[in-house]
Chain A
Amino acid sequence: MALDEYQKRDFKIIGTTPVRPDGVDKVTGRAQYGADFYLPGMLVGKMLRSPHAHARIKSIDVSAAKALPGVKAVVTGADFPATAKGDTLDVQEHCLANGVALYDGHAVAAVAAVDANVAKQALKLIKVDYEILPHVTNIEDAIKPDAPIVQAGRRGRHVPEGYSDNCTGWCEFGHGDLEAGFAKADKIITRTFKTSSTHQGYIEPNACLANMGADGRADMWCCTQGHFQVRNLCAQIMDMDQSALRVTASEIGGGFGGKTTVFIEPVALLLSQKAGLPVKLVMTRDEVFKASGPTVASMTDVRIGMTNDGKITAGDALIRYEGGAWPNSTIFPGAQSAFASYDLEAVRAQGLNTLTNRPLQAAYRAPGAPQSTYAVEAVVDELCEVLGLDPIDVRLKNAAQKGTKSSYGPTYDDIGLIQLLEAAKAHPHYSAPLGPNQGRGISNGFWFNFGGETSVSLALNFDGTITLVEGNPDIGGSRAAMSMMAAEELGIAYEKVRTIVADTASLGHNEVTHGSRVTFAVGLATIKAARAAKAEMCRRAAKIWGIDADAVVWEDGFAKPAGANAGEHDPMPIEKIAADSPRTGGPIVGHHEVTADGAGVSFGVHICDIEVDPETGFTKVLRYTVLQDAGKAIHPDYVEGQMQGGAVQGIGWALNEEYIYGEDGRLQNAGFLDYRIPVASDLPKIDTVILEIPNPGHPYGVRGVGETGIVPPLAAISNAMSRTIGVRMAELPMSPPRVLKAIKEKG
């Protein structure tokens, strides 16, 4: 990927806020989500789940269930082809246990029946003989040398001595002489912080419809962040050719990283194969909490040294994550992100991942970064408090900028953290007065962003309109953004472009919608596909005019002759070129395929005011401001929505959300009544400030914006809490009972 992609230009459509193309369908109920697909003869699938946190499955007797009238198929993990390996085998066994149930809610069998009642009856007839095994569900116990072992043979090869065999991963990043750095400090603070496992909280439960034919070819409709990934995983698990499975993504009711893998889709295919009929599987809310993929829980030790005038001399962190019963790699970005906002001479971040008897974690917006950033930003804030320094001034004094060697290795190119901090300091929010029991916190945040494999096709219809075909489910407004970029490049109206999300048989592979990649990577491919179409349209006009193609230019939706030898010709509109295309060479299509790199890292700064009720410990968020570098905001309303959404999810993580496991290893709060996500009435309007520091790796300067917004809130609220109640709380969520306890213990 060239780094000279960006070219400064004036835009006509980019930066405006046209109506979203999916809006009418969504408010009228016409939009089709995962559970909205029906086929003739369709069966209902249901799954039987383990009531134990850890148990050997001695036997499963499905004979009575199979004999129940209306039951068309019953499957267990042993029915999958024994061909999946490595990470894919882990995914398969997370979907359906094979020999051992590894967490409360782990599926052990599934049925397909003519209706939901029959399916539920059949589940009750399945007899599972369990041998209960010791379990462990928290980090502190899981890493001890004598901990119950979740899965043998999974110890990471880098894991230091002294940790249990549950520890699957160890990493270390950093540079410089730590002890020399700490020796220069006037003040050193060391603390341990904990965060709970949280769920992405998407409103739409996971759902899919699978239809396997007698010839072994199959179709699937599902809600997912990446239907190409669904196809590839399912094909591996089911031992199918990828071309034998076509997957269509539905509209999606939220994903936030949680729908980047599969939980039920291979099971639906297996049931459909056995039954010879289509099978729909829809998770209940209880199942979503218990058996999809929440984020990692964490326990982090942080040590930071600072001089009296606010210079950070050294930073050190040991970050421990648990991500359920299979290995995962979230500890890597967690450790890489911890100190990424700072320009440090001496820094180290060590990371440890451990298995627990919980569901396998899945990505959640900037996976791993909020937890480690919370711990670092809380200690920086405490140093500011102790030394009597302004928290923004200190961050400005230590901020990473162009030329900084990052804490994870590379040297930064153009980044916008200094500009964000200066904008935060100048924002009226930062100097607004506070009342009794109120406090203000700020925090930095960082995220990498990502590119990945991308394929786009742009077709010119005979009336001059455009059909743009992309392969990433629209989670945050990508259809609008792609239509805008295509229209900008072609010089036509936004309304003339319709962007659709194609199935897996219609395009080359498209990486999952994750890593804040779509507006960057699919946008880049869209612009290049449009440029390819423009070049062909210029060639067609040149043929009609009888001149060389390089004597034709494209401006504002017209081919125009250019140059001394081009001759006199009236500009030719896109509509005429389109109408004539059958006679000038055939349909006109631009396409572009790329593994996009150069996504450009992103920073955010959040300011938060809270008020705490000293009688109850209840925390109200009074005012919240998000400042973030978007590179170039294609559709500013959507960018603002991403920034606000990240902040809201972070607020929930900080104040209320947590997975609560009992002594028996079972999840105690698998529902939205007991797992409290913030709703609109809990929140003030989230104010946003979009900065635009162009990304050199994108033609329009775009950076991803979807994830950075969830990184700072944990620390911003924690820092506000400390300044409100005078106690540095070190565990999330800061729910009312915990806040009240902290206030009372302070006295």
Chain B
Amino acid sequence: MVMVTVWGSLRAFTDDRAAVEVEASTFKEVLDALSRDYPGLQVQIKAGVSMAIDGVIYKDAWFTPIRPDSEVVLMPLMVGG
């Protein structure tokens, strides 16, 4: 199990919780578990998200391993200029 922090406006879909626990050991498993356990997040996940794992921001890195004690933060998809 890993604890995943979501940004404030997504808490409407996580029972108003800032962080939720899901069964996952990779980037993709986190997204799959969030989509399954909190269906309201599916729209945002489909639109695109990044994920910070232990302070490093990843984009679409499906197979990046996540340890049970990793800090996992869901973030909007990163863009730049």
Contacts and interface: CB of A to CB of B under 8 A. Distances in A.
Given A409-B73, A697-B56, A257 B8 contact: no
Contacts of A411: 54-55, 71
Given A173-B8, A410-B52, A448 B81 contact: no
Given A172-B8, A595-B61, A363 B76 contact: no
A171 B54 CA distance: 23
A256 B59 CA distance: 22
Contacts of B33: none
Interface in B43-81: 43, 52, 54-61, 64, 71, 73-81
Given A171-B9, A173-B8, A175-B18, A597 B59 contact: yes
Given A409-B5, A595-B59, A597-B58, A448 B12 contact: no
Nearest to B74: A409
A450 B58 contact: no
B9 A158 contact: yes
B38 interface: no
B77 to A, nearest CB: 7
Nearest to A597: B58
Interface stretch (A10-18, A113-121, A209-217, A513-521): A513-521
A600 B78 CA distance: 13
Q: Which of B5, B55, B71, B75 has the most CB of A within 10 A?
A: B55
A310 B40 CA distance: 42
Nearest to B72: A410
Nearest to A704: B80
A174 B81 contact: no
A450 B7 contact: no
A720 interface: no
Contacts of A173: 7-8
Contact of A413 (B56, B58, B60, B74): B56
Contacts of A598: 56-58
Main secondary structure of the interface of A (DSSP, over half): loop
A515 B78 contact: yes
Q: Which of B5, B18, B64, B76 has the most CB of A within 10 A?
A: B76
A348 interface: yes
B57 A329 contact: no
A452 B71 contact: no
A5 B65 CA distance: 17
Contacts of B58: 1, 597-598
B81 A365 contact: yes
Interface in A570-613: 595, 597-599
B76 A171 contact: yes
A598 B78 CA distance: 12
A410 B71 contact: yes
A604 to B, nearest CB: 15
A450 B58 CA distance: 9
B78 A450 contact: yes
Contacts of B59: 450-452, 595, 597
B79 A1 contact: no
B8 A348 contact: yes
Contact of A1 (B9, B55, B56): B56
A157 B43 contact: yes
Contact of B76 (A332, A350, A449): A332
Interface residues of A, number: 48
Given A157-B43, A413-B56, A597-B58, A257 B9 contact: no
Contacts of A447: 80
Nearest to A413: B55
Contact of B57 (A171, A260, A364, A448): A448
Contact of A448 (B43, B73, B78): B78
B80 A515 contact: yes
A260 B81 CA distance: 7
Contact of A517 (B73, B75, B80): B80
A171 B7 contact: yes
Interface string B8-49: 110010000010000000000000000000000001000000
Given A171-B9, A172-B7, A599-B57, A409 B75 contact: yes
Contact of B9 (A172, A256, A452): A172
Nearest to A330: B79
Contacts of B79: 329, 333, 363, 367, 450, 514-515
A364 B79 CA distance: 11
A451 B81 CA distance: 12
Nearest to A349: B8
A222 interface: no
Contact of A597 (B9, B12, B56, B73): B56
A314 B34 CA distance: 31
A19 interface: no
A524 to B, nearest CB: 14
Q: Which of B54, B75, B76, B79 has the most CB of A within 10 A?
A: B79
A170 B9 contact: yes
A172 B75 CA distance: 11
A3 interface: yes
Contacts of A409: 5, 7, 52, 73-75
Q: Which of A348, A364, A517, A599 has the most CB of B within 10 A?
A: A599
B23 to A, nearest CB: 21
Interface string A446-459: 01111110000000
B7 to A, nearest CB: 5
Contacts of B61: 1, 595, 597
Interface of B: 5, 7-9, 12, 18, 43, 52, 54-61, 64, 71, 73-81
Given A3-B56, A364-B81, 12 more contacts: A158-B9, A172-B8, A329-B77, A333-B76, A367-B79, A409-B52, A409-B73, A410-B55, A450-B59, A514-B80, A514-B81, A516-B80
6 contacts: A1-B58, A158-B12, A172-B7, A258-B81, A409-B73, A598-B57
* Pairs of residues from A and B, 9 with the lowest C-beta to C-beta distance, nearest first: A257-B81, A515-B80, A172-B8, A410-B52, A363-B81, A409-B73, A332-B76, A158-B9, A514-B80
